[in-house]
Structure 1
Amino acid sequence: MRIHDRITDYASATQNQLSNWLHVPGWLLFPIVLLVVAVIADLVLHVLLKRMEQRLRNSPRRWDDPIIHGVRTPLRWWLWTTAILLGAGAVGAHFEIKELTTILTRGGALITLLLFAWGGIRLFRRLEQRLVFPPVNCHAKPVDPTSASALTKIVGAVLIVTLILIGLQILGVSMSSILAMGGFGGLVIGFAARDVIANFFGGMVVHLDKPFVVGDWIRSPERQIEGIVEDIGWRLTTIRTFAGPPLYVPNAWFSQISVETPTRMVSRRLWETVGIRYQDADAIENITNDIRSHLQQHEEIDQDELITVNFSTFGQYSLDIIVYAFTRETDWQRFHEIKQGILLKIRDIVISHDAELAIPASRVYLPEGIERESSRHQRQTADVGSQPAERRDNAKRPGPSDDADGEA
């Protein structure tokens, strides 16, 4: 005997008992009783499961709290759905609507599957949070967000596919027909959705190989991709760019491009060129020695890495000193603070040797016989200034001949 037949027989027996006891038609009284029972059971489940969830949040286990969270709301919906469907079935049986019973039975099974899927999704989401952030008194180690997300997504996908196959069986679809159609349909779908499938397998590879995880700073030298990874989905990876807007990258790209993960660096490189004037060539050796000593004694410089301070080349307007080292600090903001302090100290070292930092300058050579206007004026001024005072006064004072010429 099938399950819905047993349910029908039990509902009929209950109707007859209620009808004999209260002298009211059973088909009318039975749905009302079911609704009253559903209200009482719903209130009891709401209070009981809510208190259980609040109490189990402090449990050292990761799974008990997610289970209660997953089944609490779907169970209440299933209770109301069952009560409504049973009441509708009693009314349909009274009026001898045979098709209604079959429809309600299949509908109830499908609704139960949907509620089960809903509860599973709620369970996996809460479990993912518990894996990443375990309870305070839990001795298990936290799982990184990328692994937790991949695990819950895989289990959730298996659950959804299984429930879909069960639902097709409930609707009367044969599994052999599904498998037969799957061969041809798989080819058609695979050809039409090859990009989607490529992105799906690309996301799977990212989850397995873990070239980056959620929260990492990544960039690609081949494409304009740089930012913080916010989510790794099965089709797209969400990257929050430093300019602000999110960037959605298809997962298939990551199998075709190179990706850098600066977040995983163990040190940051300091590589600068310091220019000294040509007039200070005699102080180059002492300056490089002092800069090297300063870096070797600096507490933020990684002494296990290469430290290079040498005069490198004769520049167009300066003598260039290369400064090459690595800092232990990898944070971008803190690194630039350390870099600023080192550059200011290099400036002080250069000044302490009576030298100066070079700036772009040009020297103009004039052909012989050509004088600048300013030089000629300065020489004339100097000649006038070297004359005796009386001669200068006589040169300035007008003579009689001047007056006569003026009168004339």
Structure 2
Amino acid sequence: MNISDSATNLLSSLQTELGQWLHIPGWIVFPTLIMLAAVIIDIALHFVLNRMERRLRDSPRRWDDPILHGLRLPLRWWVWVTALMVSLGVVGDHFGIERVNTVLSRLGALITLLLVAWGGIRLFRRLEQRLVFPPGNCHAKPVDPTSASALTKIVGAVLIVTLILIGLQILGVSMSSILAMGGFGGLVIGFAARDVIANFFGGMVVHLDKPFVVGDWIRSPERQIEGIVEDIGWRLTTVRTFAGPPLYVPNAWFSQISVETPTRMVSRRLWETISLRYQDIGAVENVARDIRNMLLKHEEIDQDELITVNFATFGQYSLDIIVYAFTHETDWQRFHEIKQGILLKIRDIIDERGAELAIPASRIYLPEGVGKGSAEKERVEKESAEKEESEDRAGQDDSRNDSAGRDDVERENVERQDAEYESEQRRNRQGASSRTARQSQEGNRRTAPGPSDTDGDGEGDA
């Protein structure tokens, strides 16, 4: 009898005795003990890892805290997964389930690979933070965010690919089959995803060459790209434009265009043209000399760079002085504050020399005869216009008088017609009254008795 058989018999007898003592089936005893052991181990790990984390929090080394942070949760989960797999194996053996141990072993291995991948991702993320922001007592220099991100991404990608290959082997997939499929499949995938692959390699080139890093101000007139770099991914680079919205740039573009990084300038150029009047040509030399002396004494001007102040050209309406220098300050806002102070000092120099700044203006010189002829012509045109205006006013008065006369005539005609109508009505009324009188007189004569009639009647009566 070997040691394994002895251990098996011991566990079997222990399982039987505990089952009888606890009054439960024997096959439940061992899985229950395993889960209780997992609880105890988990509590112990929690206690130990907490103490280690407090001790390593102030460690000057960059690796201690990321390793502990990466392994903390995956390790505790692994304890529970292992306990569960063993318990299920015991139950499967009790009920005589075939191949249960094979299936559980493969499943446990795959879950373990997933936990390792999870722990690796947590480790690399924390490591990236510690590389960029090392502890206060760490003497190592900080790593720029772009390099730290590239390092963690590359190592993470290698880890994921390795775990995938191991997982395929656990599942029983032959590596030769994978390589055979990878030949033709890689060709098809590469042709279909050539843009994605181009962006991937473009991101690698950006990470390796470092033409810019996160936080840099970049611009490219070829593609109208300008803003602050927020993130450099494997496929896209995120640029926050000065207008506010984010701009997502494919990494493949950066191998085809020129990119300017103003953030990396060591000095900023001041280039202005000062325009004086033509009347101040005698003061140009003194003004240029005073401006140059002022720049040579200015503490914000880089004296190691070129300083040029010279009368440059006769402009269309001005005498142009070129001012060319560089400032130590490269910050955009601070540079413009310095530039404002320099321009105000230049204005004071111009005032002290009795000169003035030129403004766009044109002066026309005419021959003497042309000027007089033009004046005489203007006078004649003015008199003609005034005469026409007076005639227009007279014509308007005449028209108003004519209209007033016509109104008077019409009014007289109306009054005359009214008078004639009234006289006619009066005559009609008089004629009617005379006819009425004659008719009444004639009626009276017909009804009155005559003298012969009276006498005859009297005589007969008697």
TM-score by length of 1: 0.85
Tell me if 1:259 matches 2:256: no
| Correspondent of 1:18 among 15, 27, 35 | 15
- Report the secondary structure of 2:181's partner residue: helix
- Residue number in structure 2 paired with 1:41: 41
List gaps (5 residues or longer) in structure 1.
1-5, 377-408
- Report the secondary structure of 1:311's partner residue: strand
Which digits, 9 at most, give the CA deviation of each residue in 1:57-95, with x for residues without a partner? 111111111111000011111112222222222222222
- Residue number in structure 1 paired with 2:312: 312
Matched-pair contact (CA < 8 Å) for 1:18–1:26 = yes
Tell me if 1:280 matches 2:277: no
Residue 307 to residue 245, structure 1, CA distance change in 2 (3 Å): same
Greater C-alpha Rg: 2
Structure 1 Cα separation of the partners of residues 131 and 377 of structure 2: 83
- Report the secondary structure of 1:363's partner residue: coil
Residue 372 to residue 129, structure 1, CA distance change in 2 (3 Å): farther
Residue 374 to residue 173, structure 1, CA distance change in 2 (3 Å): same
One-letter amino acid of the counterpart of residue 18, structure 2: W
One-letter amino acid of the counterpart of residue 222, structure 1: E
- Residue number in structure 1 paired with 2:218: 218
Q: State the shift of 1:128 in Å.
A: 1.4
Matched-pair contact (CA < 8 Å) for 2:18–2:26 = no
- Report the secondary structure of 1:135's partner residue: coil
Q: State the shift of 1:151 in Å.
A: 1.3
- Residue number in structure 2 paired with 1:295: 295
Q: State the shift of 1:108 in Å.
A: 0.8
Structure 2 Cα separation of the partners of residues 168 and 356 of structure 1: 83
Structure 2 Cα separation of the partners of residues 242 and 10 of structure 1: 73
- Residue number in structure 1 paired with 2:29: 29
**Range with greater deviation from structure 2 (133-142 or 194-203):** 133-142
One-letter amino acid of the counterpart of residue 145, structure 1: P
Structure 2 Cα separation of the partners of residues 105 and 173 of structure 1: 16
- Report the secondary structure of 1:247's partner residue: strand
One-letter amino acid of the counterpart of residue 110, structure 1: L
Richer in helix (by share): 2
- Report the secondary structure of 1:258's partner residue: coil
Structure 1 Cα separation of the partners of residues 123 and 78 of structure 2: 16
- Residue number in structure 2 paired with 1:190: 190
Q: State the shift of 1:11 in Å.
A: 8.5
- Residue number in structure 1 paired with 2:110: 110
- Residue number in structure 2 paired with 1:382: none
Matched-pair contact (CA < 8 Å) for 1:11–1:90 = no
- Residue number in structure 2 paired with 1:174: 174
Which digits, 9 at most, give the CA deviation of each residue in 1:287-312, with x for residues without a partner? 11101111111111111111111111
Structure 2 Cα separation of the partners of residues 14 and 67 of structure 1: 37
- Residue number in structure 1 paired with 2:374: 370
- Residue number in structure 2 paired with 1:383: none
- Residue number in structure 1 paired with 2:453: none
Residue 274 to residue 209, structure 1, CA distance change in 2 (3 Å): same
Structure 2 Cα separation of the partners of residues 76 and 12 of structure 1: 31
Structure having greater relative contact order (Cα 8 Å, sep ≥ 6): 1
Structure 1 Cα separation of the partners of residues 170 and 336 of structure 2: 65
Q: State the shift of 1:18 in Å.
A: 2.5
RMSD of aligned alpha carbons: 2.4
Q: State the shift of 1:38 in Å.
A: 2.0
Structure 2 Cα separation of the partners of residues 251 and 175 of structure 1: 33
Residue 168 to residue 333, structure 1, CA distance change in 2 (3 Å): same
One-letter amino acid of the counterpart of residue 304, structure 2: D
Matched-pair contact (CA < 8 Å) for 1:276–1:320 = yes
TM-score by length of 2: 0.76
Q: State the shift of 1:171 in Å.
A: 0.5
- Report the secondary structure of 1:228's partner residue: strand
One-letter amino acid of the counterpart of residue 329, structure 1: E
Matched-pair contact (CA < 8 Å) for 1:16–1:26 = no
- Report the secondary structure of 2:35's partner residue: helix
Residue 111 to residue 19, structure 1, CA distance change in 2 (3 Å): same
Matched-pair contact (CA < 8 Å) for 1:15–1:30 = no
Q: State the shift of 1:125 in Å.
A: 1.1
List gaps (5 residues or longer) in structure 2.
381-462
- Report the secondary structure of 1:370's partner residue: helix
Structure 2 Cα separation of the partners of residues 82 and 372 of structure 1: 116
Q: How does 1:5-404 map to 2 (within 5 A)?
A: 14=11, 16-23=13-20, 24-363=24-363, 367-368=370-371, 369-371=373-375
Structure 1 Cα separation of the partners of residues 346 and 312 of structure 2: 16
One-letter amino acid of the counterpart of residue 148, structure 1: A
Which digits, 9 at most, give the CA deviation of each residue in 1:90-142, with x for residues without a partner? 22222222243332221111000000011011111111112222222222222
Matched-pair contact (CA < 8 Å) for 2:19–2:29 = no
Question: Percent of pairs identical after alignment?
Answer: 77
